Structures are given as structure tokens and as C-alpha cells.
Amino acid sequence: MKPITTNNLVIRQISNHDAKFILQLLNQNSFIENIGDKQVRTINDALHYIKTGPQQMYQDYGFALHIVCLKDSQQAIGICGLLQRETLPEPDIGFAFLDGFSGKGFGFESAQAILNYEVNDKKLAKVLAITALDNPSSKALLIKLGFVFDKTITLAGMSEESNLYVLE
């Protein structure tokens, strides 16, 4: 995939060069609380996560999580993209940002760009989204993007319930 450029961001495929950033992002308290603990504790763990997660998903489905960078500095500030979970019938959008960059509109800007690209490119009829029950900022972002609450679900391997949203 060619990088997607927006007014403020560049959204590109994740590479092994992003391991340090992935390690930092996945170990933030906000990531662990709202998304889950991915057990990524070292650079080698981050490299394994990149290889078996985003890189494998891109090979299998043609989409995955991407690195979100500031356009001017190329600083990585988050991840955003589509995932295909074994337990869901349709791809779902995922996003996470370093705490210092949350609440500044980058989530909306990157998610909107990903949806515009992926829905048009892959001709997707439906995209899902999942949030923790107590994550009001992600809920608000999904509603702003046009998602509608569908139901509460428990994903395989998870003990907590999540909200499921749909964009058709």
C-alpha cells in the first residue's frame, strides 16, 4: 500500500523499523486498559508482534494496522487500520495513539482516511468497531465517523464485554 497523506498525517505500513514505537505504544497504561495487554515487553517481542500481527494480516487480507505519523516531522504518534478477527464476520477498525497525541483530532483524521481508502479499495460493504464499555472517547470517535452501536459482545479469549459498532 502506498502511504496515505492527509492534511496533518502520513499513514503507512508498519515495518520492523517501528519496533521501538510499537513497544512504547503497547505498554502505555491507556492502551492496556482500553485495548488489552499484548505482552510486548522487549524489542524482540515488538518485532514478533509486527511480524505475526500487522505484516501477516496484510499478507492474508490486504489490510492491517498502519503507523500514523505527523506529516511535518514524520514522528510516529499512533496506529490505525483494519483488522480481521477470527471471531468477527467483517473487518473492524482499530486505533491507538500515544497519550500526548490523543484528543487532538488525529484519531478522526486517520480513521476517516483509512475508511475512505479501504472501503473504496476493497469494496467493503460493512466495517465493524469494538470498544471497551468504559471508553467514552473511542465511542464518540466512532459515532463521529458514522458508526452505529449494534450490541454488546464478549470476544473469544477476553473476559470483559465490549461494545460492537457497525458502519454500513
Query: What would the mean pLDDT of 34-42 be, rounded to a whole number?
Result: 93
User: Do strands 127-132 and 92-97 pair parallel, antiparallel, or not at all (unpaired)?
Assistant: parallel
* Cell numbers standing for residue 68: 500514523
pLDDT reported for residue 156: 79
Kind plus residue range of the DSSP H or E element containing 115 = helix 106-122
CATH fold of 4-123: Aminopeptidase (3.40.630)
pLDDT value at 136 more than 90: yes
pLDDT reported for residue 121: 81
| Residue 44 CB-density burial (10 A; 0-12 exposed, 13-18 middle, 19+ buried) | exposed
Domain map of the chain by residue range?
A: 4-123
